[in-house]
Amino acid sequence: MKKKKPISKWKEQLPNTLTTINLTMGILAIFLLIGDFTVNTRRISCLLIFVGMVADALDGKVARALGVDSEMGKQLDSFADSITFGLAPMIILYSFKELQTHNVLFLAIIIYPLAGVYRLARYNLGDFSDFFLGLPITAAGSIVALYCLLLSFSINIFGNELAPFTALIIFILSGLMVSTVSVPRLGTKKKEVID
Protein backbone atom coordinates (compact mmCIF):
# COMPACT_ATOMS: atom_id res chain seq x y z
CA MET A 1 0.00 0.00 0.00
CA LYS A 2 1.38 3.35 -1.09
CA LYS A 3 1.87 6.00 1.55
CA LYS A 4 0.28 9.38 0.90
CA LYS A 5 2.81 12.06 0.13
CA PRO A 6 2.89 14.66 2.88
CA ILE A 7 1.51 18.02 1.78
CA SER A 8 4.12 20.75 1.86
CA LYS A 9 3.64 23.72 4.18
CA TRP A 10 2.97 26.20 1.36
CA LYS A 11 0.21 23.98 -0.02
CA GLU A 12 -1.38 23.89 3.43
CA GLN A 13 -1.43 27.68 3.48
CA LEU A 14 -2.66 28.16 -0.10
CA PRO A 15 -6.40 28.14 0.76
CA ASN A 16 -5.88 30.62 3.63
CA THR A 17 -3.80 32.80 1.31
CA LEU A 18 -6.72 32.93 -1.13
CA THR A 19 -9.06 33.79 1.74
CA THR A 20 -6.68 36.57 2.79
CA ILE A 21 -6.72 37.92 -0.78
CA ASN A 22 -10.53 37.95 -0.57
CA LEU A 23 -10.38 39.89 2.72
CA THR A 24 -7.76 42.29 1.34
CA MET A 25 -9.99 43.10 -1.63
CA GLY A 26 -12.84 44.00 0.73
CA ILE A 27 -10.62 46.20 2.91
CA LEU A 28 -9.19 47.97 -0.15
CA ALA A 29 -12.70 48.53 -1.55
CA ILE A 30 -13.68 50.27 1.70
CA PHE A 31 -10.48 52.31 2.09
CA LEU A 32 -10.65 53.54 -1.51
CA LEU A 33 -13.99 55.17 -0.76
CA ILE A 34 -12.96 56.99 2.41
CA GLY A 35 -13.37 60.64 1.50
CA ASP A 36 -13.27 59.94 -2.24
CA PHE A 37 -16.73 59.31 -3.67
CA THR A 38 -15.76 59.61 -7.32
CA VAL A 39 -17.18 57.48 -10.11
CA ASN A 40 -13.81 55.82 -10.73
CA THR A 41 -13.22 54.83 -7.09
CA ARG A 42 -16.72 53.33 -6.92
CA ARG A 43 -16.07 51.29 -10.05
CA ILE A 44 -12.66 50.13 -8.84
CA SER A 45 -14.21 49.14 -5.48
CA CYS A 46 -16.83 47.07 -7.32
CA LEU A 47 -14.11 45.35 -9.36
CA LEU A 48 -12.17 44.57 -6.17
CA ILE A 49 -15.26 42.79 -4.83
CA PHE A 50 -15.36 40.69 -8.02
CA VAL A 51 -11.69 39.76 -7.49
CA GLY A 52 -12.62 38.81 -3.91
CA MET A 53 -15.42 36.66 -5.30
CA VAL A 54 -12.96 34.71 -7.49
CA ALA A 55 -10.59 34.19 -4.52
CA ASP A 56 -13.55 33.07 -2.37
CA ALA A 57 -14.70 30.60 -5.02
CA LEU A 58 -11.22 29.08 -5.16
CA ASP A 59 -10.23 28.85 -1.48
CA GLY A 60 -12.70 26.11 -0.52
CA LYS A 61 -12.13 24.14 -3.72
CA VAL A 62 -8.35 24.26 -3.25
CA ALA A 63 -8.66 23.26 0.44
CA ARG A 64 -10.84 20.24 -0.43
CA ALA A 65 -8.65 19.23 -3.40
CA LEU A 66 -5.51 19.29 -1.22
CA GLY A 67 -7.29 17.73 1.76
CA VAL A 68 -6.36 20.67 4.00
CA ASP A 69 -9.79 22.08 4.81
CA SER A 70 -9.93 23.08 8.46
CA GLU A 71 -12.09 24.78 11.07
CA MET A 72 -9.63 27.70 11.07
CA GLY A 73 -10.09 28.10 7.32
CA LYS A 74 -13.87 28.01 7.67
CA GLN A 75 -13.86 30.73 10.33
CA LEU A 76 -11.36 32.89 8.44
CA ASP A 77 -13.47 32.57 5.29
CA SER A 78 -16.57 33.82 7.13
CA PHE A 79 -14.75 36.82 8.57
CA ALA A 80 -13.41 37.68 5.11
CA ASP A 81 -16.87 37.29 3.52
CA SER A 82 -18.48 39.53 6.13
CA ILE A 83 -16.14 42.36 5.07
CA THR A 84 -15.90 41.82 1.30
CA PHE A 85 -19.51 40.86 0.62
CA GLY A 86 -21.28 42.27 3.68
CA LEU A 87 -19.80 45.63 4.60
CA ALA A 88 -17.94 46.77 1.46
CA PRO A 89 -20.95 46.61 -0.93
CA MET A 90 -23.04 48.69 1.51
CA ILE A 91 -20.31 51.32 1.78
CA ILE A 92 -20.16 51.52 -2.03
CA LEU A 93 -23.94 51.89 -2.13
CA TYR A 94 -23.89 54.54 0.59
CA SER A 95 -21.23 56.49 -1.32
CA PHE A 96 -23.88 57.61 -3.83
CA LYS A 97 -24.89 60.98 -2.34
CA GLU A 98 -28.15 60.84 -4.34
CA LEU A 99 -29.22 57.85 -2.20
CA GLN A 100 -27.98 59.03 1.22
CA THR A 101 -31.09 61.00 2.15
CA HIS A 102 -33.53 58.10 1.71
CA ASN A 103 -34.35 56.79 5.22
CA VAL A 104 -35.69 53.40 4.13
CA LEU A 105 -32.57 52.74 2.07
CA PHE A 106 -30.41 53.74 5.05
CA LEU A 107 -32.27 51.14 7.13
CA ALA A 108 -31.73 48.52 4.41
CA ILE A 109 -28.00 49.33 4.33
CA ILE A 110 -27.79 48.62 8.07
CA ILE A 111 -29.91 45.45 7.97
CA TYR A 112 -28.03 43.85 5.06
CA PRO A 113 -24.65 43.25 6.82
CA LEU A 114 -26.48 42.09 9.96
CA ALA A 115 -28.37 39.51 7.87
CA GLY A 116 -25.12 38.48 6.19
CA VAL A 117 -23.26 37.94 9.47
CA TYR A 118 -26.21 35.97 10.90
CA ARG A 119 -26.19 33.75 7.81
CA LEU A 120 -22.43 33.17 8.10
CA ALA A 121 -22.74 32.27 11.81
CA ARG A 122 -25.54 29.80 11.02
CA TYR A 123 -23.43 28.27 8.26
CA ASN A 124 -20.44 27.82 10.59
CA LEU A 125 -22.57 25.99 13.15
CA GLY A 126 -24.07 23.51 10.70
CA ASP A 127 -23.00 20.89 8.19
CA PHE A 128 -23.87 22.22 4.76
CA SER A 129 -21.47 20.33 2.54
CA ASP A 130 -23.93 19.70 -0.31
CA PHE A 131 -26.03 22.87 -0.17
CA PHE A 132 -26.27 26.36 1.27
CA LEU A 133 -29.05 27.33 3.65
CA GLY A 134 -30.16 30.73 2.42
CA LEU A 135 -28.51 32.80 -0.28
CA PRO A 136 -24.73 32.84 0.23
CA ILE A 137 -23.39 36.26 1.20
CA THR A 138 -20.85 35.95 -1.64
CA ALA A 139 -23.68 35.82 -4.18
CA ALA A 140 -25.61 38.64 -2.48
CA GLY A 141 -22.53 40.88 -2.24
CA SER A 142 -21.59 40.24 -5.86
CA ILE A 143 -25.13 41.14 -6.97
CA VAL A 144 -24.91 44.41 -5.01
CA ALA A 145 -21.46 45.18 -6.47
CA LEU A 146 -22.80 44.57 -9.99
CA TYR A 147 -25.82 46.78 -9.22
CA CYS A 148 -23.51 49.54 -7.91
CA LEU A 149 -21.37 49.26 -11.04
CA LEU A 150 -24.49 49.72 -13.22
CA LEU A 151 -25.65 52.51 -10.92
CA SER A 152 -22.38 54.38 -11.49
CA PHE A 153 -23.35 54.70 -15.16
CA SER A 154 -26.98 55.68 -14.57
CA ILE A 155 -27.21 57.64 -11.30
CA ASN A 156 -26.85 60.98 -13.12
CA ILE A 157 -29.91 60.12 -15.22
CA PHE A 158 -32.20 58.83 -12.46
CA GLY A 159 -30.86 60.61 -9.36
CA ASN A 160 -32.63 59.71 -6.09
CA GLU A 161 -35.59 58.15 -7.97
CA LEU A 162 -33.78 54.81 -7.78
CA ALA A 163 -33.61 54.88 -3.95
CA PRO A 164 -36.91 52.98 -3.27
CA PHE A 165 -36.04 50.32 -5.88
CA THR A 166 -32.52 50.00 -4.44
CA ALA A 167 -33.93 49.59 -0.91
CA LEU A 168 -36.25 46.85 -2.18
CA ILE A 169 -33.33 44.95 -3.73
CA ILE A 170 -31.32 45.17 -0.50
CA PHE A 171 -34.28 44.02 1.64
CA ILE A 172 -34.91 41.07 -0.71
CA LEU A 173 -31.25 40.00 -0.63
CA SER A 174 -31.18 40.34 3.17
CA GLY A 175 -34.32 38.22 3.46
CA LEU A 176 -32.92 35.56 1.13
CA MET A 177 -29.71 35.33 3.16
CA VAL A 178 -31.52 34.62 6.43
CA SER A 179 -34.15 32.40 4.78
CA THR A 180 -34.16 28.60 4.99
CA VAL A 181 -34.19 28.18 1.21
CA SER A 182 -31.77 25.43 0.12
CA VAL A 183 -29.35 26.65 -2.54
CA PRO A 184 -27.37 23.83 -4.20
CA ARG A 185 -23.59 24.17 -4.29
CA LEU A 186 -22.12 24.45 -7.77
CA GLY A 187 -20.37 21.28 -8.85
CA THR A 188 -22.04 18.94 -6.34
CA LYS A 189 -24.34 16.12 -7.32
CA LYS A 190 -27.58 15.47 -5.51
CA LYS A 191 -27.42 12.41 -3.31
CA GLU A 192 -29.80 9.67 -4.30
CA VAL A 193 -32.23 8.59 -1.62
CA ILE A 194 -32.43 4.81 -1.35
CA ASP A 195 -35.42 3.30 0.49
Which distant-in-sequence residues (6+ apart) come within 8 Å of 141 by Cβ?
49, 53, 81, 84, 85, 86, 88, 89, 116
Q: Specify if 6 maps to a domain.
A: no
When divided into structural domains, the chain yields a total of 1
Low-confidence stretches of the chain (pLDDT beneath 50):
1, 190-195
Domain that holds residue 45: 13-184
Q: CATH number for the domain including 68?
A: 1.20.120.1760
Whether 189 is covered by a domain: the verdict is no
Q: Decide if 61 is inside a domain.
A: yes
For 75-125, the pLDDT digits (tens) are 899 999 999 999 999 999 999 988 888 899 999 999 999 999 999 998 888
- Write down the pLDDT at residue 23: 96
Helix, strand and coil percent figures for the chain, each rounded to 5: 75, 5, 25
The confidence score (pLDDT) of residue 181 equals: 82
Whether residue 53 is contained in a domain is answered as yes
In a domain, 97, yes or no: yes
The pLDDT value given to residue 71: 81
Q: What is residue 188's predicted lDDT score, i.e. its pLDDT?
A: 52
Q: Report the pLDDT value the prediction gives residue 182, as an integer from 0 to 100.
A: 82
